[in-house]
Amino acid sequence: MLSAKHRLRLRSKAVGLALFVLPLPLLLKAILSLWTGDAGAMAASGGSWMMFTAAAVLARRGLQAELLESERPFLSGRARTLKTAGGVLVAVATAVAALFAAGHGPAIALAFAALAALGYGLLYGFGWKRRERPADVDGLADEAEPLLREGWRRLEQIEVAGRQIASGEFRQRLANIVGGAERILKLLADDPRDLRRARKFLTVYLDGAQKITEDYARTHRQRGASAELEQTFRTLLVDMENTCEEQYRKLLQHDVSDLEVQIEVLSTRLRREGVI
């Protein structure tokens, strides 16, 4: 049975593909116009098709980002921007196609554009959802939001770098680290009172995890990893897994007296390896 992460990944691959299929008749018309030598029809149809394709790319990226943000709140709001830009461009492309490729008048072209925008909004949403914020416990929401947003961004970068690593063991360990960090971020979002005491986790720990993963992925891709490098990376991943689990357990118990020491030990290791 597929995990939630795998289902999310499959959905992200399929979402928005219909937007690439619907304008294909315009591409066909442009090709036929080229065959018959009708430069005007070719430019109108080809230009409209390119605008629809650009709109599909924007919308698809926005929809993919929206799926990620549904699991990881407090991200940058990029999904809303991309989705809105894609919808606007769909409407403009529809108006251009109706006006120049189909030969309708301006009023009919605007009507088609309005219907296209409405259909896009009903199918994919209008992207106007209010951005989530952490729980405002003791007035800490404003302080928590940028830190949590940066934390989610770092997890996204770790996953991107991790997909470039061939070792199944390392990818699984990175998935464990990301999963553990997600639990901590959600815990802090629900109750930001431990935020100040977990600040080193959000900065030193996640920053180090991101950098070491990206560095290893880059080195592995360029010249392959030596046995020594693999063992060093494995040891650091194990340390980070353990630290992440301990951090979560301590936060649940509201007992963070020795977390600063644990994070400091890990940061010393990362500095010795040249990661931070």
Look at phi and psi of residue 130 and say left if phi exceeds 0, alpha if psi is from -120 to 50, else beta: beta
Q: pLDDT tier at 71 (50, 70, 90 boundaries)?
A: low
Statement: residue 51 has pLDDT above 90? yes
The pLDDT of residue 271 is 64
Evaluate if residue 76 carries a pLDDT over 70: no
Place of tokens 């990893």: 225
Judge whether 164 and 217 are in contact, CB under 8 Å: yes
Average pLDDT over the chain reads 79
**Contact assessment for residue 127 and residue 84, using Cβ atoms and an 8 Å cutoff:** yes
List of residues 6+ apart from 25 with CB closer than 8 A: none
Residue-wise pLDDT tens digits, 192-241: 777 776 777 777 788 888 888 888 888 776 555 567 777 888 888 888 88
Indicate left, alpha or beta for 75 from its phi (over 0: left) and psi (-120 to 50: alpha): beta
**Domain boundaries, given as residue ranges, for the chain:** 4-124, 137-272
pLDDT at res. 276: 46
Return phi, psi of residue 124, to 5°.
-115, -5
> d(Cα 156, Cα 2) in Å, to the nearest integer?
20
Contacts of 6 (CB under 8 A, 6+ apart): none
Mean pLDDT calculated for residue range 247-264: 62
How do residues 91-149 score in pLDDT, each as one tens digit? 999 999 999 988 899 999 999 999 999 999 888 876 555 555 555 555 556 667 778 88
